[in-house]
Structure 1
Amino acid sequence: MKKYLGTVALLVGLSFACSSESAEAGEPESQVKTTFINPVWDGADPWMVKQGDEYIYCYSQNNSIVLSRSKYMTKLGEKKAIWTAPSSGWNRNCVWAPEVHFVDGHWYVYYAAGVSGPPFIHQRTGVLRSQTDDPFSNYEDMGMLYTGDNPDDPASNVWAIDMTVFEHNSKLYAVWSGWKEQMDTDATPQHLFIQEMENPWTLKGTRVLLSSPEESWETGGPLNLNEGPEALIHKGQVFIVYSCRESWLVEYRQGMLQLINPDGNLLDPSNWKKQGPVFEGNDLVYGVGHCSFVKSPDGTEDWIVYHSKKSTTPGWERDVRMQPFSWKADGTPNFGIAIPAGKQISRPSGEVVLEESEGN
């Protein structure tokens, strides 16, 4: 996430913190290429999902939420701004990290926003719902989700960003990054919370603290945080891959929670085990974080889409990258080593054949 940390944030410049980085497609190719190079485009907090034979990519830009749809993972396609922040209200500014999910015939967008910033102390999570099963249809604002400890008192809502949702055993769950209590400084530790959903725009019961930044590999800098959680489900196993350390530093990296008993209670923190880092930067790739997961066009490969810092200088200038990953014998993901910029990578399986068949 692009944010905060009081004095530190001022040192690296926050003039751009409330306007999201844009995503731009590459130049048209004169012939079909079998490889691509990272980065694929500018941006941060990349969310890509495959629906049918299309890839839907969701990002924020100038306090609007934009969708792209394309038959190719490595190329953005037709774009549409499906929502723009209102001129007044709780969500009028600082639109961060939107995700779009297809649930029960509608597309739902989960995003963070606030009234102002810095300091970024007002962030809450909102939900939009499409009118039809077309991701480019009009969207209805379903309001703010309550992410505190007392649902009967809406005024007691608590800071929340980076919400994602997933289904498991016919139940819908939300996971997000939040504060234990509302604070008047954005230099506040962030934790991961989980909660069952009554429906895609309403949380059920009360939140459960799932993960705190406690391990040596997720602490040690000016601010301890867990954020950017994303669900990864494979052969019945459930994983939550999340970002830790500071988003503006090269140490930003990925940790992972694994559901110990997939048939057990997801709301029991003891049913999850933590390991990490499972994906991190190196001498040539800086601060990898906030990922999403998609299948290749032919469904035979798994890919991680993530952002990294453009330089070692503290700040939030980032670009989007992608690379394939595999699975270990114990059923856990093996994300490998972050591939440096400029190195040729084979395009996702099925993408070249698809492009050739369309005569592009």
Structure 2
Amino acid sequence: MGSLKFLMVATATIISFVHAASFSNPLKEENGSDPFIVYTGGYYYLMTTTWTDVQITRATTLGGLKTGETKVVWSDSTASRCCNVWAPEVHYLDGKWYIYYTAGQSEDTTQQKMHVLEGGATPWDSYSYASQLIDEWSIDGTVLRFDSGNYMVYSCQRTGLQSLCIAPLTSPTTIGAASTLSQPTLSWETQGEISVNEGPAAMYHGGKTYLAFSASYCWSPSYQLGLLTWDGSGDPTDSNSWTKTGPVFSSANGNYGTGHNGFFLSPDGTEIWNVYHATSDSQGNCAGNRYTAAEPVTWNADGSPDFGTAEALGTTMEGPSGE
């Protein structure tokens, strides 16, 4: 028994000195906009807007994504979806990985629509084109999960405003009727030339569902994150069931236009991390020079998320728990 006690103490002592690998932002310097990260099977998988195709990068540590293995998983010459490829995300549904992305015609972003690729058992597998998900102008789709089923939340045009819409996923490649979830009506959502709600991203904590989104014009330094909260009561497709707060994450420390984020779990599942894009251009920028950065989400005493402040590039941080 004495030897067992020693083993337990020794093991605990060793564990206390084990820390996650350190890293610094940016994770991706060019074409780092609209980032999405998922951790599964021992790898982080990163996707961003690359404009011409769908790419995925993987690495075993968060910092390793800077030099991780990258491959093109999809490109398309079909005129209606050849170009302006934006905001890919990879989600696991019904035993397979699916990539949801935006694409449209060459030099005409008024025809942007959501599309779906069907993959295999891991995000690194091959993909085939599955369907155009939505017939109307639609960008930045993400999957929202409830016990009652899965939903697609995306940016849409409603009453002349770039809004957020929600629709049930009747299958991983088809959706039902959409309803309007949020519109840009508050002062922090209407900065710049265009009032905007876009780039939704979901996380779940403490029995509540949180939907972050990007507000205001992306060419403005006021492009920033807002938050919708659903406490589990009411119909999640009804905008009245959600509480809007914001901004919750804004320009700071030389990072401007901090937006279009995603959430991912640490390897041990104990932390939620926020991955986002920003630019060093103090006037704001919506082009390929936006970079990818990531920081942990913490929690306030009332259970609400604290996104913290965007740290200056090059700041050394401890990586996600479990690395």
User: Cα–Cα, structure 1 residues 60 and 192, in superposed 2: closer, same or farther, change >3 Å?
Assistant: same
Q: Report matched runs for 1:196-215 at 5 Å.
A: 196-204=168-176, 206-215=177-186
Amino acid aligned to 2:28: W
Q: Report matched runs for 1:14-53 at 5 Å.
A: 34-42=21-29, 43-53=32-42
Output one character per residue of 1:226-269: Cα deviation in whole Å (capped at 9) or x when no partner: 00000111132101100011112211100000013x14311111
Matched residues, percent identical? 36
Amino acid aligned to 1:264: G
- How many angstroms apart in 2 are the aligned matches of 1:33 and 1:326? 17
User: Cα–Cα, structure 1 residues 79 and 217, in superposed 2: closer, same or farther, change >3 Å?
Assistant: same
Aligned residue for 1:327? 299
Q: Give the CA deviation at 1:332.
A: 1.5
- How many angstroms apart in 2 are the aligned matches of 1:314 and 1:167? 33
Query: Residue 213 of structure 2: which of 239, 242, 249 is its match?
Result: 242
Amino acid aligned to 1:177: S
Query: Residue 64 of structure 1: which of 40, 53, 57 is its match?
Result: 53
- TM-score, normalised to structure 1's length? 0.79
Aligned residue for 2:11? none
Query: Residue 69 of structure 2: which of 78, 83, 105 is its match?
Result: 78
- How many angstroms apart in 1 are the aligned matches of 2:138 and 2:271? 33
- How many angstroms apart in 2 are the aligned matches of 1:108 and 1:122? 22
Contact 1:73–1:296 (Cα < 8 Å) also in 2: no
- How many angstroms apart in 2 are the aligned matches of 1:194 and 1:343? 37
Moved more, 321-330 or 99-108: 321-330
SS in structure 2 of the partner of residue 75 of structure 1: helix
Q: Provide runs of 4+ in structure 1 moved above 3 Å.
A: none
Contact 1:297–1:350 (Cα < 8 Å) also in 2: yes
- How many angstroms apart in 2 are the aligned matches of 1:348 and 1:134? 21
SS in structure 2 of the partner of residue 178 of structure 1: strand
Aligned residue for 2:156? 178
Structure 2 unpaired stretches of 5+: 1-18
The root-mean-square deviation of aligned C-alpha atoms, in Å, is: 1.9
Aligned residue for 2:222? 251
- TM-score, normalised to structure 2's length? 0.87
Q: Give the CA deviation at 1:39.
A: 1.5
Q: Give the CA deviation at 1:276.
A: 0.2
User: Cα–Cα, structure 1 residues 91 and 235, in superposed 2: closer, same or farther, change >3 Å?
Assistant: same
Q: Report matched runs for 1:156-195 at 5 Å.
A: 157-180=135-158, 189-195=161-167
Output one character per residue of 1:312-338: Cα deviation in whole Å (capped at 9) or x when no partner: 144322111111120112222100111
Q: Give the CA deviation at 1:340.
A: 1.1
Q: How many aligned residue pairs are there?
A: 299
Aligned residue for 1:26? none
User: Cα–Cα, structure 1 residues 62 and 269, in superposed 2: closer, same or farther, change >3 Å?
Assistant: closer
SS in structure 1 of the partner of residue 313 of structure 2: coil
- How many angstroms apart in 1 are the aligned matches of 2:320 and 2:261? 17
Output one character per residue of 1:63-105: Cα deviation in whole Å (capped at 9) or x when no partner: 111112222122223222111122x331011101111101111
Amino acid aligned to 2:291: D
- How many angstroms apart in 1 are the aligned matches of 2:252 and 2:292? 16
- How many angstroms apart in 1 are the aligned matches of 2:248 and 2:20? 31
Query: Residue 129 of structure 2: which of 116, 120, 141 is its match?
Result: 141
Contact 1:223–1:245 (Cα < 8 Å) also in 2: yes
- How many angstroms apart in 1 are the aligned matches of 2:312 and 2:173? 39
Q: Give the CA deviation at 1:201.
A: 0.7
Indicate the structure with greater strand content: 2
